[in-house]
Every structure is written in structure tokens, then in C-alpha cells.
Amino acid sequence: FEESRELTVLLMVDLSASSRFGSHQQTKMDVMAEVAAVLGFSACSNRDQVGLFLFTEEVEHYVPPKKGKDHMMRMLADIFYYQPKRTGTSISSALDYLLKAQKKKAIVFLISDFLDDGYEAKLRVASRKHDVVPILVEDPFEQVLPQVGYVALEDAETGDPLLLDMRSDDQRAVLENMAYSRRVQQDQLFSSMNVMPIRIDTTQPFIQPLAHYFKARVR
């Protein structure tokens, strides 16, 4: 955030049920909250205005941008302790809310696992008005599945049950190909928008990908 003019920084944090998944010590939601806190305090220390959007299938909590450590501390409590009322995800609805609430150009950190569809058009619109930075928080088990026998799963957002045989190479291949295809489509979308995403693994320290992004941004 080392720039001469005052900035408005907006943190958009996905609190949908899929973010509660974690195969190791931390869930995706844990990591999203920590990333938002680090970015918020960085902006605060640079005397920028910071605002907050907490969303599921709609924006559930909005804090207008403001300066100051007291303001940041209140937002920090919201980030870590707010209990979402809904389980689904709608990045499109969150971006629509952003466009209506924030008229002045801002840096927007969109922190989500991006397990959603139909947000592409709205993301393009938001990126033309604001400097949107997608931060994708991912768990490695969503990319490569372990061979652990039968696993009973439930879609966290819809409640739909699913029984998988993880010993089956075919079943694992189908799911891993779906995950790979989603990642490729995301990268193509971001590239077409000239947007640089930040990908964060829940099992790895997130400071390094953040630092890499800001160094690349400076260049």
C-alpha cells in the first residue's frame, strides 16, 4: 500500500459453508480471516480507509470504509466472530452490493474459495470500476484426493449426501479433473481481465504468496 495518495481498501470475505472445510489444522475460513486481518492492518498502518463485506449468498454484514486502529479492531472482531445466517455462496450478489455501496474507486480484496458459478460477468464489471484482487484460499484435499476407502460426504452448502469410494482410481480422477478444470477456467478468466490472483494453500504459510503478489505489483 506504499503510495502517495490516500487509498480505500475493501475486504470482501466469503463466510459460506464450504469455507468451513479443512483437512489439516486450519479451515479455509480460519485462513481467510487471518489474511483479511493482515491486509486490514497493513492498510490501517498506511493510514488508508478500510471497509468490510462479509458475504454468503448475500452480503450479511457491511462496514463502510473508515480510518483508524479502533475502526480496524472492531472490524477484526467481525471478521473472526461473526456467525453467518446462510450457507450458500453468491460472489455475484456480493459484487453487485459492492458496486452499489462503493462509488469511489477502491482496492478490493475478494477473499474466497471461489466454489461458485455465474460470477464472471459481475467480476468483469467490478474490475473495470475497482482494482479487484482475487484471493483464492484452497485446501489440498480439494485438488488431490487420498486413497482412504469409502467416504460419506455432505455438500456443506446444499446438504446433499454423497458416498465415494476413494480406492477407485476412476472416481478420484473424475473429481480431480473437475477441480483442475475449474482452476484452468479461473486462470483463463483472470488472465483475460489482466487480473493477478493470489492462491493460498491452507497447509502453507500465506505471507509468502502475499509478499510475492505485492513485489510483482510494484514491478
Positions of the chain with pLDDT under 70: 1-5, 22, 144-159, 162-167, 171-172, 175-176
The predicted structure's pLDDT at residue 172: 64
Measured CA to CA in angstroms, residue 205 lies from 19, 34, 111 at distances of: 18, 11, 16
- What does 95-129 look like in DSSP terms, one character per residue? HHHHHHH--S--EEEEEE----SS-HHHHHHHHHH
Q: What are phi and psi of 135, to 5 degrees?
A: -115, 110
The predicted structure's pLDDT at residue 138: 94
The predicted structure's pLDDT at residue 4: 47
Query: Cα separation of 115 and 16, whole Å?
Result: 10
The predicted structure's pLDDT at residue 161: 74
